[in-house]
């Protein structure tokens, strides 16, 4: 069944509601205004004639004159418009068919001003006397054929289009129509909200929709068809009939009169994917789970910090499945306006959008879904003090009844209700890009901006030193490209400019997309360390275990400065892995049970991201249980024991006090390596590497060996201090080498200070 033209049909429908209100005894000024609003403009002179005849004695002279003048002006303009074909409404021309949804609902251009003036004059008369209100209402009722009460008119065409698209019943159409009238017509809405009790409002709505109140409640309650479609909203609950309102997008659609405006407002353009699915850092098993969830028609949740590539991954995933991505528009870009919060509006929009798509061809992509998913927990309402939340059962209902596969993207999943999380087909925690992925991003986006045909290693160095998100790389590329275009820098300057810009980002207060990583000293060489096992052989073993998908647990002990932590950092660089460095202060808490949770979280993070886990100052965490006296000390060690035993990644625990480590924990490590002072045969190579510009004689070496035990840190610290002294003496950095005697004196000074700091008590 086709509906009548929308604009004129709404006029007829509003006039029908006016008669329903009058039949129920609501004859007052508000209803008179409602009737005038719903009246067809050509009938305004009839109402004016009745008011002038019946109410002139009760009107002030100037009011009567104003109404008479407005009526006469209207009639003169109507006669002129009818006589002049050039000013006639195109809809009246027999040579042209009327536009869809248009049937003279509003006056043509020459009649608009006279019609408005006459309507205003009639409304002002309502304030003169009660008899004027009664006269206007009686006159309005008599404009119906033979003065009879009209039956319910045919519904506007847009309601029938909605019924065809969303399978609405006739009862649901009638309910939508009367709820729209409450939102669209101020006088009708005011009557329901402020002049009637809740029960009386429900009875009026039910009568206008031609149903009983029980049916009205059932058709608008949570879980009903209209609720599943996202057409109605009840906030956090429904205590009264008027707690139920139409969603913003449905009100917008009914006003516009076309479904095309609804589709245009619900969706935003989706850029094509720029990467292959295998380019992203998710494990194969995780990608397989994502594909299975979408293939089964279930919603998929991608969560992780902003800027790490979740949206790009979603587009690539949809492309891999051969589907069409349809992105739900952000609430700020939707043309819908209303009183609902952004979270509620997007929730309703997601429900409606899903029913407009083809489940065999489309996938709905909901980016920045935090306000939708977290509003169900009441978090945003708590923080904003506004009614921005809704019953979480609505979210659960939506997730259960989505007719198309859907990808939801959020930055934080902890504030999402557990009941909602359980309804996702799969929840994927999107990891930070690992070093290999970051290096590829840097090379792909920035290498073409340089004058080098091949990467000389600067991208690998940057990837190892900084945890960069794809957003940070993209921002860097834009800045560098702009400076190249403006001739601020040359292509040869690009590597240094990239390093400088990324370093500036790290120091910024808004450094969210980039952070410095623990990095090995560029001068570290494992063959110069004095160890109980060959470090090169250990690195080969670690690579073999990593490539075979197995773990390796290393226990590194020795006095400070021997190179334990540096070797662990070097090993991570050697394996192209990120570093997850934890210290006792990162894990220990004053609250009982929280330390165990943070210990488990540290291992879980390293496992999920594939990072090399380094536990520095491990003796403070792995101490002997025999020395524990409190229950929580035992539980912490037990938690560490279990996590170390089950960890299947690469880890290194560094300690200065191996005897303090629990024996059971020591047995959980695959290899125990001791680091010691520089050996006699390693001193000369170490000096040559760290001080290549100095010449050392055998007597110099004997002088160093005769002093305190030397650690690699003594040589590195001496080098740094000599560079500082040289710069201070000359004012600028100098390349002139320090004499061997100065180098030896500086090394012995550092070694002596370290040796004295290890003693307890006063020296004589």
pLDDT in tens, 137-159: 888 888 765 445 557 888 999 99
- pLDDT given at position 571: 94
pLDDT per residue as tens digits for the range 642-652: 888 889 899 99
- Cβ neighbour number for residue 197 with a 10 Å cutoff: 10
- Does the structure show a pLDDT above 80 at 94? no
Q: Give the highest mean pLDDT range of 288-292, 454-458, 477-481, 642-646.
A: 288-292
List the domains of the chain with CATH numbers: 10-80+109-141 (no CATH), 154-257 (no CATH), 263-429 (3.40.50.300), 435-516 (no CATH), 526-674 (3.40.50.300), 681-761 (no CATH)
* Residue 626 scores a pLDDT above 70: no
Query: For residue 173, with 0-12 CB atoms within 10 Å meaning exposed, 13-18 middle and 19 or more buried, which class applies?
Result: middle
What is the C-alpha separation between 468 and 462, in angstroms, rounded?
A: 9
For residue 544 the two structure tokens come to 């073999």
Q: Alpha-carbon distance 556 to 188, whole Å?
A: 79
- d(CA 359, CA 423) in angstroms, rounded, equals 18
More confident residue, 162 or 742: 162
Tell me whether strands 650-655 and 612-615 are parallel, antiparallel or unpaired: parallel
Residue 154 sits at φ, ψ, to 5 deg, of: -60, 145
Rounded Cα gap, residues 141 and 371, in angstroms: 49
Cα–Cα distance measured from residue 176 to residue 183, given in angstroms and rounded to the nearest whole number: 11
- Give the bridge partners for 4, in sequence order: 156
Render the burial of 356-381: b for 16+ CB within 10 Å, e for the rest.
bbeeeebbbbbbbbbbbbbbbbbbbb
> How far is Cα 445 from Cα 438, in angstroms, rounded to an integer?
11
Residue 653 reports pLDDT greater than 60:
yes
User: Which helix (DSSP H) or strand (DSSP E) does residue 357 occupy?
Assistant: none
pTM over 0.75: no
Could you tell me which residues come within 8 angstroms of residue 735 by beta carbon, excluding any fewer than 6 positions away? none
Distance, in Å, from the CA atom of 37 to the CA atom of 16, rounded to the nearest integer, reads 12
* % of the chain exceeding 90 in pLDDT: 25
pLDDT tier for residue 332 given thresholds of 50, 70 and 90: low
Closest CA to 289 of 300, 280, 281, 278: 300
Question: What stretch of H or E contains 313?
Answer: helix 310-320
């Amino acid at each position: 069944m086709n509906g009548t033209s929308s604009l004129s049909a709404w006029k007829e429908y509003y006039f029908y509601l006016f008669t329903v209100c009058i039949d129920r005894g609501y004859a007052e000024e508000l209803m008179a205004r409602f009737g005038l609003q719903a009246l067809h403009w050509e009938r305004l002179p009839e109402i004016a004639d009745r008011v002038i005849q019946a109410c002139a004695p009760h009107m002030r002279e100037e009011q009567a004159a104003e109404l008479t003048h407005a009526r006469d002006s209207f009639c003169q303009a109507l006669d002129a418009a009818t006589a002049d074909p050039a000013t006639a409404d195109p809809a009246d021309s027999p040579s042209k068919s009327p536009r869809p949804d248009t049937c003279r609902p509003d006056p043509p251009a020459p009649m608009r001003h006279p019609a408005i003036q006459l309507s205003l004059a009639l409304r002002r008369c309502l304030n003169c006397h009660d008899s004027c209100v009664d006269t206007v209402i009686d006159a309005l009722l008599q404009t119906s054929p033979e003065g009879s009460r009209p039956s319910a008119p045919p519904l506007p065409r847009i309601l029938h289009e909605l019924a065809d698209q969303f399978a609405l019943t006739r009862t649901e159409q009638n309910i939508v129509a009367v709820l729209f009238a409450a939102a669209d017509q101020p006088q009708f809405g005011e009557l329901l909200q402020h002049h009637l009790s809740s029960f009386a409002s429900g009875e009026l709505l039910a009568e206008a929709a031609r149903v009983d109140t029980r049916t009205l409640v059932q058709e608008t309650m949570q879980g009903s068809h209209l609720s599943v479609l996202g057409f109605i909203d009840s906030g956090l609950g429904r205590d009264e009939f008027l707690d139920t309102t139409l969603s913003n997008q449905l009100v917008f659609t009914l006003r516009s009169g076309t479904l095309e405006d609804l589709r245009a407002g619900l969706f935003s353009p989706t850029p094509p994917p720029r990467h292959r699915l295998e380019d992203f850092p998710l494990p194969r098993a995780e990608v397989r789970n994502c594909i299975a969830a979408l293939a089964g028609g279930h919603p998929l949740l991608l969560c992780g910090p902003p800027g790490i590539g979740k949206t790009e991954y979603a587009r690539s995933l949809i492309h891999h499945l051969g589907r069409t991505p349809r992105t739900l528009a952000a609430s700020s870009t939707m043309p819908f306006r209303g009183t609902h919060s952004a979270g509620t509006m997007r929730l309703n929009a997601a429900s409606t959008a899903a029913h407009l798509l083809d489940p065999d061809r489309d996938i709905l992509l909901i980016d920045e879904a935090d306000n939708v998913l977290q509003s169900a927990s009441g978090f945003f309402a708590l923080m904003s003090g506004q009614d921005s939340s809704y019953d979480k059962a609505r979210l659960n209902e939506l997730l259960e009844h989505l007719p198309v596969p859907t990808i939801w993207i959020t930055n934080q999943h902890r504030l999402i209700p557990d009941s909602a999380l359980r309804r996702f087909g799969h929840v994927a925690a999107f990891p930070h890009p690992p070093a290999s992925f970051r290096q590829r991003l840097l090379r792909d986006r920035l290498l073409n901006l340089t004058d080098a045909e091949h990467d000389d290693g600067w991208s690998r160095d940057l990837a190892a030193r900084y945890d960069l998100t794809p957003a940070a790389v993209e921002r860097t590329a834009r800045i560098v490209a702009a400076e190249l275009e403006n001739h601020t820098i040359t292509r040869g300057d690009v590597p240094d400019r990239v390093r400088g810009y990324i370093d500036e980002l790290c120091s910024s207060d808004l450094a969210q997309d980039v952070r410095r990583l623990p990095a090995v000293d560029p001068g570290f060489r494992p063959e110069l360390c004095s160890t109980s096992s060959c470090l090169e052989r250990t690195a080969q073993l670690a690579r073999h275990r990593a490539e075979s998908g197995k773990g390796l647990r290393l226990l590194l002990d020795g006095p400070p400065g021997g190179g334990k932590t540096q070797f662990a950092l070097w090993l991570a660089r050697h394996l192209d892995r990120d570093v997850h460095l934890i210290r006792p202060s990162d894990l220990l808490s004053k609250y009982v049970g929280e330390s165990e949770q943070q210990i488990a979280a540290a291992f879980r993070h390293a496992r999920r991201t594939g990072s090399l886990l380094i536990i520095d100052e491990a003796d403070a965490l792995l101490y002997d249980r025999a020395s524990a006296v409190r229950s929580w000390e035992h539980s912490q060690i037990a938690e560490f024991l279990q996590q170390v035993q089950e960890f299947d990644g690469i880890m290194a625990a560094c300690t200065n006090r191996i005897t303090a480590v629990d024996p059971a924990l020591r047995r959980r490590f695959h290899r125990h390596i001791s680091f010691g002072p520089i050996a006699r045969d390693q001193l000369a190579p170490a000096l040559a590497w760290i001080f290549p510009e100095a010449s050392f004689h055998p007597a110099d070496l004997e002088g160093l060996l005769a002093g305190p035990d030397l650690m690699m840190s003594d040589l590195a610290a001496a080098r740094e201090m000599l560079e500082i002294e040289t710069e201070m003496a000359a004012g600028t950095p100098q390349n002139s080498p320090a004499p061997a005697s100065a180098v030896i004196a500086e090394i012995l000074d550092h070694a002596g200070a370290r040796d004295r700091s290890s003693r307890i008590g006063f020296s004589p």
